[in-house]
Amino acid sequence: MPISYDFFASNENHYQDKAPVRKCARAWQMVHEDRAKKAVLLVHGFSGYPGELIRPGKDLYEAGFDTYAPRMPGHGTSGNDFLASKAEDWTGSIYDAYGLLSLSYESVYLVGHSMGGAIATIIADAFDAERLALLAPALLIPSIPVGKLRLFRYFIKRQKIAWESDPEYHFYYEGDEDDDAFLGSEYWSYIFPPAVWELERVRRQAVACLDNLKADTLAISGGLDKTVPQSASRLASEKPKGKNRHLHIPAASHLMPYDKDLPAQNKVMESVVDWFVNY
């Protein structure tokens, strides 16, 4: 796999992480020896990291695109960094990455997973991107208790929850053996009310962009997704501008890029490639 980790620094104007970046969370790129005319910027989700997007990056690279996955500040390092970073850092780092790529390519498309889908929506609107693929986009998140968060985020920084590593997920990154366990102990073993509030801010901004969003948009929902409802993908596909499509995959979960159900995962990846190549 022609992957390298010398991806340009799109975080330099944003929150600077204090903890080391885990190996699986490094920003990565897959670039052809003869640079492609089109690139795809892949955006990971809330408390996620670039290594989760290796599969779509690889498939799109093999379809002829150069692919890039930046790491948003506060992600892939520590829970303290997560709490210290804000919506402006997350969105701003992807904005800067897209701006840099747009100087070198004829077109830059976007793939976003979960919160990354909301951020990709914002960036596609800002730059008038031509095409966009949203995987379980966090445009609607019914589980966020917005009213309570307004107050609790000032007093409760993190709340312990149960988490266990699940070996059935299909990871593709080059990392250390304990990456999943370490990040689980730092991120997925807690709810972070201040960070969830930042997620809600991103979500609202993305929804506000939809009426003006010109990008041809594929939105994919999963029947086993317990985080983002199917209606979030419909919200994107029913926007007034562009050529848009909603694809619902009953066997897919929220974690589509490395889904436990390999046929569902394959269907998602094939659909994204097809959207960028043939539509």
- Identify the pLDDT of residue 1: 65
24 in Cβ contact with 84 (< 8 Å): no
Pairing mode, if any, of strands 107-113 and 131-135? parallel
Residue 12: its pLDDT value, please? 83
Q: What is the pLDDT of residue 183?
A: 98
User: Would you say residue 11 lies in a domain?
Assistant: no
Total tally of structural domains belonging to the chain: 1
Sign of CA dihedral 27, 90, 230, 196: positive
Q: Is residue 43 part of a domain?
A: yes
Residue 4 is assigned to a structural domain of this protein = no
Q: What is the pLDDT of residues 179-188, one digit of tens each?
A: 999 999 999 9
Cβ neighbours for 124, distance < 8 A, ≥ 6 positions apart = 110, 132, 209, 213, 215, 217
Half-sphere exposure at residue 202, Cβ-oriented, CA atoms within 13 angstroms: 31
Residue 12, domain member (yes or no): no
Amino acid at 55: R
DSSP string, 133-168: EEES-TT--TT--HHHHHHHTTT-S-EE------TT
Across all residues in the chain, what is the average pLDDT? 96
> Which is higher by pLDDT, 110 or 8?
110
Res. 48: pLDDT tops 70: yes
What per-residue confidence (pLDDT) applies to 279?
79
The pLDDT of residue 25 is 96
Residue 13 belongs to some domain of the structure:
no
pLDDT in the model for residue 61? 98
How would residue 164 be classed by pLDDT, with cut points 50, 70 and 90?
Answer: very high
More confident residue, 7 or 245: 245
Structure tokens at 151: 């107050």
Please state the φ and ψ torsions of residue 222, each to the nearest 5 degrees: -115, 135
pLDDT bucket at 35, cuts 50 / 70 / 90 = very high
No. of helices (H) and no. of strands (E), the chain:
9, 9
- CATH number for position 256: 3.40.50.1820
Q: Which residue has the tokens 């150069």?
A: 66
d(CA 219, CA 115): 13
Give the range of the structural domain holding residue 65, as residue numbers without chain letter. 23-278
DSSP, res 248: E
Average pLDDT over residues 63-79: 98
9 pLDDT higher than 90 = no
Closest listed residue to residue 272, CA positions, set 67, 76, 105, 101: 67
**Residue 112 covered by a domain:** yes
**Is 14 a domain residue?**
no
For 230-273, what is each residue's pLDDT tens digit? Answer: 999 999 999 999 999 999 999 999 999 999 999 999 999 999 99
DSSP letter for 51, please: G
* Residue 110 backbone dihedrals phi, psi, to 5 degrees: -130, 140
> Does a structural domain hold residue 7?
no
Calculate mean pLDDT across residues 87-107. 97
